[in-house]
Chain A
Amino acid sequence: MTVAGWLTIVLFAVILTALALPLGSYMAAVYSGRRVLLSPILAGPEKWLYKLLCVDPKREQDWKGYAKSLLIFSLAGWLLLYLILRTQTVWNFTGLNPTGFHSGSWNVTFNTVSSFMTNTNWQFYSGETTMSYFSQMAGLTVQNWLSAGVGITVAVALIRGIIGRSGKSLGNFWQDLVRTILYVLAPLSVLAAIMLVSQGAIQNFSNYLTAHTITGLTQKIAMGPVASQEAIKMLGTNGGGFFNTNSAHPFENPTAFTNLFEMLLVLIIPAALIFTFGRMTGNRRQGYAIYGAVIFMFLGAVAVAYIAEAHGSPAQHAAGLHTGVIPGSTGGNMEGKEQRFGIAGSALFNVVTTVTSCGAVNSALESFTGIGGAVPFANLSASEVIFGGVGTGLYSILMYVLLAVFIGGLMVGRTPEWLGKKIEAREIKLAGLGILITPLAALFCTALATASHAGRASISELGKGPQGFSETFYAYLSQANNNGSAFAGYTGYIQPNAGNLGAHGVTFADLLGGFDMTFARYAPILFALAIAGSLAGKRVSPAGLGTMRTDNPTFVILLIGVIILVGALTFFPALLLGPIVQGLTGHLY
């Protein structure tokens, strides 16, 4: 461990908070329909979009109407992306398939499409050896935007339900979607993409290069429109890399500075939305309390991962490698890590992307030490509440807030109230289901995949002993949480040659994963919207002396306790079988 390493972690948290505060206020203004800085430029295109879409933005929707629009829109996006990927060769006339890749097979395409629609961006395929530039930009990039937009609309609808004074309206789905894309994602994404190119991320449509090296070898170098996808991939907490090695690839993440920049892109919207919540409820301290809880858990996770990775792995030590800090090298477990990021930059990045639903990686999770690798597991076990994905994070943690309010209410013996509204059996039932559905999907799929021949076929050759279980468990946990990071040895796609000639998907893993992602994305969305609908109609009663406050440190501690308790109770047995065993033993398998 080094001073610079710890400094990176602390300064990152400070910069993030400083940037998220103003963005949170901005987004609150956008979703309240107030004029903002960009209104003079964007109000015109906004109106124009409503006209083209045949939408009346003033038409208010109740939770069922909102959910219906959301589901139908997602389904339409699914169908179009499936069509694009399955007909990859048809689009060769655009000249955007210079390497001549074939179209995807049905099973892996099913998985990929479900993955991008649900903001998971789990990838069984490898970008630079199977996807044409056309599929990457017109297919995958588009869902990077839309899935992020859908996530944010749900969070906004839930906030409206919570603050609603009367009636059933949650706003209008189409209006929220258009505003999210136009006012939030587009400006940030354009700026971020240009910033990334200025630092060395590539953006072109060239053929793959062939270099003749000075020692007489030839090297093929993949090209592509990378930066435009990279920006929205991080900003929308998507995480699906243009290249197989994602943000470890120098063309996606060229320097230590871009590494920091990309981490900020990932967390900026989830962090800002927490402040947006505080603003919109009219009590900013509500936002600060939730932010306090998540940043505390976040920093705890980073510290554990950094210490574990700096210590090195049993395999390194058995081989005789010294992993301490020496002049000119920080030592540690550098297997699967890039020199320019180092141990701290890699540990921090992977915590950033596993607490959110981003799932981008800048180093090989599979090569993390047992305890270092247990951190992403633990983050996923908390079901996307530590910042979480764009939108999904906020609505997920608000369900935990409901649960904490309920438990707190039971402890003090009063009817639980939250922001002046009585919390009753219906809301708690919905929140309970919303919280438990993701772990349920993850554990069910893991059990099925571990117990069946078809499931075990996906475990890599290197996944021996507990590593094999960790791979499997991580795969379905990551997909259920719509995260998309992977212990990348787990395969769902066999590709003997570049150009996917003769390639085939592993049907079991592709289908199970696809259903896992879809179910665990849309079921909680429906529960969140149902809660919003149920709260929207409730009358607000003034807070009395006996009302439990939800904006003070006591509540922060209660909330952290509830999150850890639920996560630990659901996942601890499974975690013991995989990463914890590996972390506690020096034994090699």
Chain B
Amino acid sequence: MRRDILTSAIAVVLFTILLGVIYPLFITGVSQVAFPGKANGQQIHFNGKLVGSKIIGQSFASPVIGKNGKPEEKEEELVTEADPRYFQSRPSATEGGAYNAAASTFSNRGPNDKETEEVDAENIKAYLELNKPYDPSLTVAQVPVDAVNTSGSNLDPEISPANAWIQAHRVAAKRGLSLSVVDGLISKYTSGRGLGFSGEEGVNVLELNLALDRLNAGGK
């Protein structure tokens, strides 16, 4: 008994040092040498400043400027509206505004919940309002599910190709680009399936939007 207590006490301290300090430090050391970009979150710099992480989704809405010239706020959150010149990410319900990557959260909307239906209906409506003017043939039946449903992390960096193809009409019109150029960029930033069969194809929204900005800047 006494021996077990002694051994246990040594064991928890020893294992804390080995597995809780040395192991993570070792992995950090190897990672920072071998894969520094990946280990630090694939940060993307644009025009010299940090604009986000390649694999963390973000909102492409702009702050709404109120009558007093300052960004409007409602309940301590910025009021924003979708910027039609950019591809829009999936809806996000993190606290403190969409795509708060310091507090990921599940939406926890139930499958049989009236509120889920209401939110879905609102999102369908908003999606149609944003995109239908530029793609008149768009109907409810074509609205992709990922454009309406929130993701797991609420930080999904990707949208489905179907979602991107629909938004391409709007973005092309707003930027004075041809649809084929925008569609070409979409396929450039579409990731394939894992090992060719696992998971789904997805379009990286941040990379795509940055490529568009670069294209426009270069063209002018």
Question: Taking beta carbons and an 8 Å cutoff, which residues of A are in contact with B?
Answer: 4, 7-8, 11-12, 49, 52-55, 68-69, 72-73, 75-77, 80, 126, 128-129, 137-139, 141-142, 145-146, 174, 177, 181, 186, 189-190, 193-194, 197-206, 208-217, 219-223, 225, 227-229, 231, 243-245, 248-251, 254-260, 312-316, 318-323, 326-342, 344-346, 361-364, 366-370, 372-373, 460, 462-467, 487-489, 498, 582, 585-589
B108 touches A460 (CB 8 A): yes
Give complex CA distance A361, B143 in Å.
27
15 A-B pairs whose Cβ atoms sit less than 8 Å apart in the complex = A53-B14, A137-B24, A212-B49, A213-B52, A221-B102, A222-B102, A245-B105, A256-B200, A259-B199, A315-B110, A321-B120, A321-B143, A329-B146, A329-B160, A366-B110
A214 touches B7 (CB 8 A): no
Distance in Å from the Cβ of B173 to the closest Cβ of chain A? 18
Query: In residues 1-58 of chain B, which contact A (Cβ within 8 Å)?
Result: 1, 3-16, 19-21, 23-24, 26-28, 30-32, 34-35, 38-43, 46, 49-53, 55-58
> Which residues of chain A are within 8 angstroms of B13 by Cβ–Cβ distance?
80
* Nearest neighbor of A208 in chain B, beta-carbon distance: B102
Distance in Å from the Cβ of B106 to the closest Cβ of chain A? 4
* Nearest neighbor of A129 in chain B, beta-carbon distance: B103
B144 touches A326 (CB 8 A): yes
Contact of B129 with A by CB under 8 A: no
Distance in Å from the Cβ of A267 to the closest Cβ of chain B? 15
B158 touches A340 (CB 8 A): yes
Give complex CA distance A73, B11 in Å.
8
> Which residues of chain A are within 8 angstroms of B12 by Cβ–Cβ distance?
73, 76-77, 80, 142, 146
Interface size classification for chain B: 35 or more
Asked whether A257 and B146 contact (CB < 8 A) given A128-B102, A340-B158, the answer is no
B111 touches A221 (CB 8 A): no
Give complex CA distance A467, B193 in Å.
34
The listed residue (A215, A320, A329, A337) touching B61 by CB distance below 8 A is A215
B120 touches A193 (CB 8 A): no
Give complex CA distance A340, B103 in Å.
21
The listed residue (A197, A335, A488) touching B38 by CB distance below 8 A is A197
Give complex CA distance A12, B191 in Å.
21
Give complex CA distance A339, B161 in Å.
10
Contact of B177 with A by CB under 8 A: no
Contact of B100 with A by CB under 8 A: yes
Distance in Å from the Cβ of B216 to the closest Cβ of chain A? 12
Asked whether A322 and B141 contact (CB < 8 A) given A254-B55, A334-B149, A336-B151, the answer is yes
Asked whether A194 and B34 contact (CB < 8 A) given A220-B100, A222-B101, A488-B108, the answer is yes
14 additional A-B pairs beyond A146-B19, A204-B40, A463-B110, beta carbons within 8 Å, are A76-B11, A181-B19, A193-B27, A202-B40, A205-B28, A213-B60, A217-B61, A217-B62, A248-B152, A328-B164, A369-B111, A462-B108, A582-B110, A589-B110
The listed residue (B39, B104, B115, B164) touching A203 by CB distance below 8 A is B39
* Chain A CB within 10 A, most for which of B12, B13, B104, B191: B104
B102 touches A260 (CB 8 A): no
A-B contact count (CB 8 A): 438
Contact of B220 with A by CB under 8 A: no
Distance in Å from the Cβ of B53 to the closest Cβ of chain A? 6
Give complex CA distance A319, B97 in Å.
24
Distance in Å from the Cβ of B24 to the closest Cβ of chain A? 4
> Which residues of chain A are within 8 angstroms of B171 by Cβ–Cβ distance?
none
A335 touches B107 (CB 8 A): yes
A76 touches B24 (CB 8 A): no
> Which residues of chain B are within 8 angstroms of A467 by Cβ–Cβ distance?
110, 112-113
> Which residues of chain B are within 8 angstroms of A460 by Cβ–Cβ distance?
108
A329 touches B86 (CB 8 A): no
Give complex CA distance A239, B199 in Å.
21
> Which residues of chain B are within 8 angstroms of A223 by Cβ–Cβ distance?
40-41
* Nearest neighbor of A312 in chain B, beta-carbon distance: B145
* Nearest neighbor of B145 in chain A, beta-carbon distance: A334
Question: Taking beta carbons and an 8 Å cutoff, which residues of B are in contact with A?
Answer: 1, 3-16, 19-21, 23-24, 26-28, 30-32, 34-35, 38-43, 46, 49-53, 55-63, 78, 80, 83, 86, 90, 97, 99-118, 120-121, 124, 140-146, 148-165, 191, 193-195, 197-202, 209-210, 213
Distance in Å from the Cβ of A328 to the closest Cβ of chain B? 3
The listed residue (B7, B101, B144, B152) touching A220 by CB distance below 8 A is B101
The listed residue (A4, A77, A249, A588) touching B114 by CB distance below 8 A is A588
The listed residue (A54, A142, A323) touching B16 by CB distance below 8 A is A142
A221 touches B52 (CB 8 A): yes
Asked whether A582 and B112 contact (CB < 8 A) given A212-B51, A319-B117, the answer is yes
Give complex CA distance A177, B10 in Å.
14
A209 touches B41 (CB 8 A): yes
* Nearest neighbor of A202 in chain B, beta-carbon distance: B41
Give complex CA distance A210, B53 in Å.
10
Distance in Å from the Cβ of A331 to the closest Cβ of chain B? 6
The listed residue (B10, B103, B111, B156) touching A339 by CB distance below 8 A is B156
* Nearest neighbor of A199 in chain B, beta-carbon distance: B38
The listed residue (A211, A319, A368, A498) touching B53 by CB distance below 8 A is A211
> Which residues of chain B are within 8 angstroms of A201 by Cβ–Cβ distance?
38
Give complex CA distance A82, B50 in Å.
38
Distance in Å from the Cβ of A402 to the closest Cβ of chain B? 29
Asked whether A211 and B50 contact (CB < 8 A) given A7-B197, A256-B200, the answer is yes
The listed residue (B40, B162, B193) touching A326 by CB distance below 8 A is B162
B106 touches A336 (CB 8 A): yes
Give complex CA distance A331, B160 in Å.
10
Give complex CA distance A218, B49 in Å.
12
A126 touches B121 (CB 8 A): no
A8 touches B151 (CB 8 A): no
A256 touches B209 (CB 8 A): no
B121 touches A217 (CB 8 A): no
> Which residues of chain B are within 8 angstroms of A260 by Cβ–Cβ distance?
194-195, 198-199
